[in-house]
A = this chain, B = another copy of it.
Amino acid sequence: MRGAPGGIVVLAGGVGGARFLLGVREHARASGREVTAVVNVGDDAWISGLRLCPDLDSVMYTLGGAADEERGWGRREESYRVSAELLAYGVGWPWFTLGDLDLGTLVARTGLLREGLPLSEATRRLAARWQLGVELLPASDDEAETHVVVPREDGRGSEELHFQEWWVRHRASREPSAFVTRGARPPAPAPGVLAAIASAEVVLIAPSNPVVSIGTILAIPGVVEALRGTEAPVVGVSPLIGGAALRGMAELCLRTIGVRPDAASVALHYGARSEAGILDGWLLDPADGELSPALSQAGITPLVRPILFTSLAETAAIAADAVALGA
């Protein structure tokens, strides 16, 4: 069905994953490979009866050339007429402003889901418009949303917030004690995900948030087993440079799950395949070069090279080096 041999499979979150995928697509076009993106759906939410899939849409808009690159999220030339109406009616999340163009995607998706289509099929239909040149797969068709355990504001005990509420409303200011997945049942991998991993030439882990983006994909039963079982090498790109994430709140999330926020600790958290983990190789920045021996020692082949996405050509070169590291 998909994941043709010779293909590159990328596990990715939202904006960072989307930008990495631009480079992967560029490299894949040059080298005649196909690309399958397996995208995190843990950030998804129902908002005013509409299905929000921020990571899928970030990838779709970015690869489709419709993303607002300056702002870093959403659509270019966006407007907010519908959201102003929702605010006037006093419904929805007043702290979550959906653009009109973005709402078009949400309404279209919701209509397809309400017709009974699984998210993967709805995603395929939406993506067809954009001619992405990349197969876009949600990690799961199931609703399994990330919640964040934080102290209650009155200081008495803790409470759970939806990831979006924690991230967008509170700007991650309330210190989390845990991330948990909530849904009717454990999520299953979407059709095609495990097959794509099994038949891939190489699997890349995008420099997305290791906890709430990549971690959420890896938590889907069957995914880690597929990564461990595939003949394809699995190579990741560090989401941290010099101990800091380039975007988002990877450090905070890593500290929450007890992982030191540095380029090597993330790789060791994913683990070497030889040690019941998933990684064969890892790209880290020269700023973190001194951490590479620890990776070699743990059975993960390090490649030290600049990993900043300074241009499309450079991102494609990073992707090419990641593919080459696995070969």
Q: Chain A: residues with CB nearer than 8 A to chain B?
A: 46-50, 79, 81-86, 88-92, 100-101, 103-105, 107-108, 110-114, 125-126, 129
- In the complex, the count of this chain's copies comes to 2
The A interface is mostly helix, strand or loop, or mixed, namely helix
Give A85 to B107 CA distance when docked, in angstroms.
Answer: 9
Contact A46 B85, beta carbon cutoff 8 Å = no
What chain B residues lie within 8 Å of A83 (beta carbons)? 104
What chain B residues lie within 8 Å of A108 (beta carbons)? 48, 85-86, 89, 91-92
Query: Nearest B residue to A75 by beta-carbon distance?
Result: B85
Contact A89 B114, beta carbon cutoff 8 Å = no
Contact A82 B104, beta carbon cutoff 8 Å = yes
The 7 closest A-B pairs by CB, nearest first: A85-B104, A48-B111, A49-B110, A49-B114, A89-B108, A49-B111, A81-B100
Contact B49 A88, beta carbon cutoff 8 Å = no
What chain B residues lie within 8 Å of A89 (beta carbons)? 104-105, 108, 125-126, 129
Give A89 to B123 CA distance when docked, in angstroms.
Answer: 11
Can you list 13 A-B pairs with a CB-CB distance of less than 8 A? Answer: A49-B111, A50-B107, A81-B100, A81-B101, A81-B104, A82-B100, A85-B100, A85-B101, A85-B103, A91-B111, A92-B107, A92-B108, A103-B107
Give A264 to B46 CA distance when docked, in angstroms.
Answer: 52
Rounded to whole Å, the gap between the CB of A39 and the closest CB of chain B is 18
Contact A104 B79, beta carbon cutoff 8 Å = no
